[in-house]
Amino acid sequence: MGKVIIASIAPEETRMAMLEDGELMEASVERTDAGHIVGNIYKGKIKNVLPGMQAAFIDIGRDKNAFLYVGDIFPRFASHSAQADDVLTIGQDILVQIAKDAGGTKGPRATTHLTLPGRYVVLMPTVDFIGISRRIADDAERERLKVIAEKVRPAGMGIIVRTVAEGKSAEDLARDVHYLSNLWNALTARAKRVNAPALLYRDVDLVIRIVRDYLSHDIEQFILDNREAYGRVCDLLSYNSPELLPRVKLHQGPDAIFEHYGVEAELEKLGKRHIWLKCGGYIVIDQTEALTVIDVNTGKFVGKTNLADTVFRANLEAAAEIARQLRLRDIGGIIIIDFIDMDSEEHQQAVLAALEEKLKKDRTKTNVLGLTGLGLVEMTRKKTRQNLESVIYSVCPWCEGRGRLQSPETVVINIRRQLRKITAENGPVRPLLIQAHPRVAEVLLREGQLARMEQEFSRTLTVEPVEAMHPETFSILLGQLS
- Residue 302: per-residue pLDDT: 63
Residues 195-230 have pLDDT tens digits of 999 999 988 888 988 988 888 888 999 999 999 999
Three-state SS at 93: strand
**Contact indicator for 90, 47 with CB cutoff of 8 Å:** yes
Distance from the first to the final alpha carbon of the chain: 80
Handedness of CA 234, 240, 242, 246 (dihedral sign): negative
Three-state SS at 97: strand
- Residue 393: per-residue pLDDT: 77
CA 11-13-16 angle, to 5 degrees, is: 125
Residues 43-63 have pLDDT tens digits of 999 999 887 778 899 999 988
φ and ψ of 162, to 5 deg: -85, 165
- Residue 79: per-residue pLDDT: 44
- Residue 74: per-residue pLDDT: 56
Which residues on neighbouring strands pair with residue 338, listed in sequence order? Answer: 295
Q: Order the strands of the 116-117 sheet from edge to edge.
A: 116-117, 121-124, 158-161, 130-132
**How many angstroms separate the CA atoms of 38 and 102, rounded?**
9
> In the 8-state DSSP scheme, what is residue 393?
-
pTM of the predicted protein model? 0.77
Helix/strand/coil percentages in the chain, nearest 5: 35, 25, 40
Beta strand 291-297 pairing with 333-338: parallel
The residues, ordered by sequence, that sit 6+ positions from 79 with a Cβ below 8 Å of its Cβ are none
Count H helices, E strands: the chain?
13, 24
From residue 477, alpha-carbon distances to 57, 420, 463, 466, 474 in Å are 47, 14, 10, 14, 10
Handedness of CA 103, 124, 136, 203 (dihedral sign): positive
User: How many residues in the chain?
Assistant: 482
Those residues of the chain that have pLDDT short of 70 are 1, 34-35, 74-86, 104, 301-305, 386, 426-428, 480-482
Three-state SS at 278: coil
